[in-house]
Chains A and B, each alone.
Chain A
Amino acid sequence: MSAKERMSAQEPTSAQEPMSAEPPQRAAEVEAHLGDGVHVLRRPDDGSEHLVNETALALWQLCDGATTPEEMIEGVVELFGEDRERIAADVATALHQLREAGLLHVGEAAVQRRDAPDPDAQDDEVDR
């Protein structure tokens, strides 16, 4: 099965928990397939594929376990020179979506999910 979900750094999400200050870590086994403007992040463990835009891909690449969300926000603000509050919200949304998609290792729950993928959870993700 090749379930594709589209995510971007600009799309708002509901019921989003506050952003952790800890440096997020991307899941090492996830494969990035670069396109021209839209890219695919693929989880080999369940075969799911996630379409990401430039900003979401960049943020995922920055998830090296050392770079904090705050540093990501400052970097984006420096480059794009836009409203800091809006960028902070966009970064939080993108990290939340990446985490929900199982593309990041953040905390115990993420590790458990990677170790024992739940097929029902995958269905929920695709239906969203």
Chain B
Amino acid sequence: MSADPTPLRVAVLATPLARRALAAGLAEHGLDVVADGELSDPDARRRAAHADVVVLSAGDLPDPAAVPALADHVGAAALVVGDTDADQLERAMRAGAAGFVDWERPLAQIAEAARTVARGETVVPPGMLGGLLQRLIERRRSADQALARLATLTARERQVLALLCDGHDVPAIARELVITPQTARSHLSHVLSRLEVHSRLEAVALVRDHDLRASLDAMEVTA
């Protein structure tokens, strides 16, 4: 194999076993492995920021709701290696991965997928694009329905819900809005009723699962 004058720089952030196999295989196929380590290790992530592409294991991915965007989290375009599994694929792409490849693919194809991602293109396993799009479309429909329910809240109720989502309890909500705890409880009761949910936890989940926390603030401004 002729040496690439400017080999693609990759970082491999995965568990030790997966890391060793991927790093050795990718180097063998002409990529420059500039860093490796655990995704949870801040030092490893900092070293990975110098790479063009970060290769991750699907099993190590953080919760998309807890991390704004995977590419921001790791500092480079992310290529996720995982099983041929619709849940794993959706989770990776929603987390902000630029590509997903099957573990069972030859390392040459994983290396090629890294090059494709580095060019700014998206990589989805053969035959899985339709299912992934279907999931994204259903998620968007569900988010639209949730947003419609949020729109039925008054401005005050949206403030209460936003504070609830930020982790405030009733006394803290009351203090923040300069109202009595009794009034805060009353607002919360209306929020649950209008959102058609049965608990505060469910109300928070409705907002969080559909990434609507920012929408609550935006609605507040335009209300």
Contacts and interface: CB of A to CB of B under 8 A. Distances in A.
17 contacts: A37-B126, A54-B127, A55-B129, A57-B129, A58-B130, A60-B130, A61-B130, A64-B134, A67-B137, A71-B137, A75-B133, A75-B134, A75-B136, A79-B122, A79-B133, A79-B136, A81-B122
A74 B140 contact: yes
A41 B134 CA distance: 19
Interface string A35-75: 11101000000000000001101111110100100011011
Nearest to B109: A36
B114 to A, nearest CB: 17
Interface residues of B, number: 15
A37 B124 CA distance: 10
Interface string B133-156: 110110011000000000000000
Q: How large is the interface on A (under 10, 10 to 19, 20 to 34, 35 or more residues)?
A: 20 to 34
B126 A36 contact: yes
B127 A62 contact: no
Contact of B133 (A37, A39, A62): A62
B3 to A, nearest CB: 28
Interface of A: 34-37, 39, 54-55, 57-62, 64, 67, 71-72, 74-76, 78-81
B137 A72 contact: yes
B140 A34 contact: no
